[in-house]
Amino acid sequence: MSIYCDDESFSAKVLNSTTPVLVFFTADWCGPCKLIAPKLHQLEDFYTARFELCKVDVDISQDIAAQYSITTMPTVILFKNGNAMTRIEGPDIEKIESTLAANL
């Protein structure tokens, strides 16, 4: 089940997590984000309990978006032990799949 993170909860839910977290930077107006969201949920189901999917709405959580220099939508970043391991910009679901396969 995906979680929602905002500026206040990001540190607790992502940086302090002992489970890898795939952070999905998105917005309601982002068409490509809507296209890959179902696939991200399928990956979450496939890798049950091996990672968490965290959605961050860049319009609401502008501090986190700025901290990670989010300029392309969608952007996903895989965090492990509080560290940003891999960043994927754009709706490249194949790259997201291969990143998860290699890091989980």
Enzyme catalytic residues: 30, 33
Work out the number of other CB atoms within 10 angstroms of the CB of residue 33: 22
Identity at 10, one-letter amino acid code: F
Burial (0-12, 13-18, 19+ Cβ within 10 Å), 31 = exposed
Cα–Cα distance between 75 and 27 in angstroms, integer?
11
